Amino acid sequence: MNKKLSILYNYGLFSNIDEINFKFKKKYSGALKVYFDDFDKKYNIYKELIEKLDTFTNIVNKKLYYKKIRISKNDGIQIFSDNDNEIKLSDLSSGEKQEIILFFELIFSTDKIIMMLIDEPELSLHVAW
C-alpha cells in the first residue's frame, strides 16, 4: 500500500502521505480491512492513468540527455537538468519538443493498437538533439 501511496503522491494525486502513518491494533482490523479495500477501489480508478504516466516519463527520460521529466497535477510537465535546475519547455531543442509531443500523443491520445509511420525522421529528430 505504501508503494501505491507513493506513486499517487509523486503525481500529485494524493495530498499527504503522512496521513497514513498509524499503528495497527487487532481490535481495529475489521475497520482497517474496509479502509484498505476502499483504498484499493479508489486506487484502481487511477491505475490506467498511472501506467500511462509511468510509461511516458520512462520513455522520455531515456530520450532526454542530461535532463529528466517530472509530471504533477499542480505543475504539469516540467523538465529538470541533472543538477535539478528547471528548464523551460521553450528552451528545449525542436527535436526534444517533437519527441515529447510524439510520445504524449502516442500514449495518451491513441487506442492501444496502432501502427505508426514516421516520415523524414532526420528533421529535428536526430539522436544527438
Q: Is residue 63 part of a domain?
A: yes
Q: Is residue 118 part of a domain?
A: no
- In angstroms, the CA 33 to CA 99 distance is 44
Q: Which residues touch 49 (CB under 8 Å, ≥6 apart)? A: none
Write out the chain's pLDDT in tens, 129 residues.
667 777 777 777 766 655 555 555 666 667 767 777 788 888 888 888 999 999 999 999 998 889 999 998 889 999 999 999 999 999 998 889 988 998 998 898 877 777 766 666 555 555 554
- In angstroms, the CA 114 to CA 110 distance is 8
Q: Is residue 53 part of a domain?
A: yes
Domain ranges, residue 8: 2-108
Count of the separate structural domains present in the chain: 1
Burial label, 69 (beta-carbon count in 10 A; 0-12, 13-18, 19+): buried
Q: Nearest to residue 17, comparing CAs of 29, 5, 4, 1?
A: 5
The reported pTM is 0.68
Q: Is residue 115 part of a domain?
A: no
Q: Is residue 129 part of a domain?
A: no
Q: Is residue 114 part of a domain?
A: no
